[in-house]
Amino acid sequence: MPDITFKGQPVTLAGTLPSVGQVAPDFTLAAADLTDLRRDDLKGRKAVLSISASLDTGTCALAAKAFNARLAGRDDVEVVYISSDLPFAAKRFCEAESLAKIRTASVFRSPEFGRDYGVGILSGPLRGLLARAVLVLDEQGVVRHAQLVPEIAREPDYDEALKALG
């Protein structure tokens, strides 16, 4: 079990983050328009899965803005921001911040995602939400970069994620 904290306090997570070289587990999440977004919908393109608790937190908002800015010119990459936010709220945030590169996905209909991806928070004030993680998938859905951010209140390592994209 990895040592993960939120503002210095240990938290327990469900499951295990997928490893580099592993095919990312299947998922079905709710897209901004309430349609299903499946892992297989991303095949054929590289994908960055930016996972976090909620766009209503400062660090989560910074991460979404950073990936949007850093990948704006990359038409070969899909950026999916995955959180517990309802699709309506995530869509409203992206529109207000002009985050055209970000595709949002909600776990509100898929509580198993937290366990399957090792990011479901089981203890502490954020229990029921998702820990911060970044996965980079290749065109076949194989994990090429995996980071579970050790302190939930900190930003991920953008440079390592971008390096994995090539």
Q: Where are the beta strands (DSSP E) in the chain?
A: 4-6, 9-11, 13-14, 28-31, 36-38, 46-51, 77-83, 102-106, 120-121, 133-137, 143-148
Q: For residue 1, what pLDDT is reported?
A: 54
Judge whether 135 and 143 are in contact, CB under 8 Å: yes
- In the set 60, 64, 105, 131, the catalytic residue is 60
60 is catalytic: yes
Give me the chain's average pLDDT, please.
94
Query: Hey, what CATH topology would domain 4-165 get?
Result: Glutaredoxin (3.40.30)
pLDDT tens digits for range 83-140: 999 999 998 988 898 998 999 999 999 999 999 999 999 999 999 999 999 999 999 9
Q: Read off the pTM.
A: 0.95
What is the rounded average pLDDT of the residues 152-161?
96
